[in-house]
Amino acid sequence: MSRKYFGTDGVRGTVGKDPMSAEFALRLASAAAQVLVPAGGTVLIGKDTRLSGYMFESALEAGFVAAGADVLLLGPLPTPGIANLTQVFDANLGVVISASHNPFHDNGIKFFDGSGAKLSDDVERKIEKLLLSPAITLESGKLGRAKRIDTARDRYQEFCASTFPADLNLEGMKVVFDGANGAGYKVGPRTLNNLGAEVITIGCSPNGRNINDGCGSTEPELLQKTVPAVGAAVGIALDGDGDRVVMVDEQGETIDGDQLLYVLAMSRQEEGALRGPVVGTVMSNLGLEHALQRHNIEFKRAAVGDRYVLEALRESGGIIGGETSGHMICLDKTTTGDGLVSALQVLAVMRRTGRSLSELTGGMSRYPQTMINVRTEQKMDPGQVPQILDAVDQVEKELAHSGRVVLRASGTEPVIRVMVEGEDEALVALLAGRLAAVVAAAAS
């Protein structure tokens, strides 16, 4: 049974369109409770800053309580904060209401099990099977209760700070923090301040509609201008739900997930703390793979999605992995991708070595890479379309084995991602545009 609603990171879509309605959220909560929450069990619900979060929070609360689960409402909190607090509160399930890096008119619902890990495909299939039935309501004496937890943000801040080396601090370091007007808009600046940094904030004034709008990890242009303008050592940009991070060096250059992965891998190796291979994805830059190879660090590629990076790390015994987009996983510090925790690890490397971020990333060269998102009206597998396969074959021949082609349907948006990578930037851009045109024609 294939999954109808769950993508690479929970259920996601435009608010008011199937499946992102209050009625669906109630049924989803009921189904998830029946699969994952025993009688009298506990569910945490957190959210980002989208206006629709209020509606989904109420619908989920109703569905879980009706199914007999007790609900703790945490309010706006980064996705990794829910993963952490699910363990802290010994809950059976953690729920996040967020569409991550998408615009405010989208929203989503994703889950963590009691260990703070994302659900397996098999568990998601079990939940979807129960969605075929109406939501359940137990008799009055078996209903759950709900209450709001006011200390959740403080507890998560304390956890993030605990991942920073106890013998170091950020005194004298000027940091620009971009919260994407999202879930990390308070915890990010407060955590950095508590560690001693001088923090300048942008993207930390959410109004329910401005999440990821001209700010955050997907649009770091303002951060790039601000960091050198104020003489900051570094800039940090989260996405709307706080599980992604990109950084900006002192010169205003964006440092993506591949480069951050290089910095963390090199640091762990120098400290003798690196275990297992470093895990990226099929989209990770070839320059990262080659840079790690020069230092005898094994590199593995997983499917796109931080859940698959996590699976590969656990299977191989690795501790460091991530995606180009900034989903970074430090298993020696936490259980899931965490933008703020990952940024703190990079700041710790800067502090311990006394080197700037541009110096730390200098050992890795990124191959030119062009990514084009081709929007589709319905789901399409590009690997099953003959004309697309022919076009890919032709592009690979023109690259002459000096580059890569990756086509994949997004698990979070109605787009086909067309990526071409190689040594010649002009050729890469030309071939990506040509291939994208073929995909667009097939999708129309």
Q: Which residues are catalytic?
A: 100
415: Cα within 13 Å, side-chain hemisphere = 12
Query: What sign results for the dihedral spanned by CA atoms 311, 259, 354, 236?
Result: negative
What is d(CA 185, CA 183) in angstroms, rounded to the nearest whole number? 6
What is d(CA 219, CA 101) in angstroms, rounded to the nearest whole number? 10
* Dihedrals phi, psi of 122, to nearest 5 degrees: -65, -40
The beta strand positions in 48-191, using DSSP E, are: 70-76, 93-97, 106-113, 146-148, 174-178
Taking only Cα atoms into account, the Rg of the chain, rounded to an integer number of angstroms, comes to 22
CA-based nearest residue to 135, from 2, 19, 32 = 32
Query: What sign results for the dihedral spanned by CA atoms 241, 245, 246, 250?
Result: positive
What is d(CA 200, CA 247) in angstroms, rounded to the nearest whole number? 14
The beta strand positions in 87-221, using DSSP E, are: 93-97, 106-113, 146-148, 174-178, 198-202
- Vertex 78: Cα angle to 187 and 236 (nearest 5): 60
What is d(CA 392, CA 223) in angstroms, rounded to the nearest whole number? 36
The answer to whether 199 and 177 have CB atoms below 8 angstroms apart is yes
Q: Which helix (H) or strand (E) holds 316?
A: helix 306-316
Q: Who's near 425: CB < 8 A, 6+ residues apart?
A: 368
Residue 324, amino acid: T
Residue 7 neighbours by CB distance under 10 Å: 19
User: What tokens does 438 get?
Assistant: 């073929």
Q: What is the edge-to-edge ordering of all strands in the sheet holding 234-238?
A: 198-202, 174-178, 234-238, 245-248, 254-255
**Residue written as tokens 């656990």?**
314
What is d(CA 298, CA 307) in angstroms, rounded to the nearest whole number? 20
- Vertex 70: Cα angle to 182 and 241 (nearest 5): 10
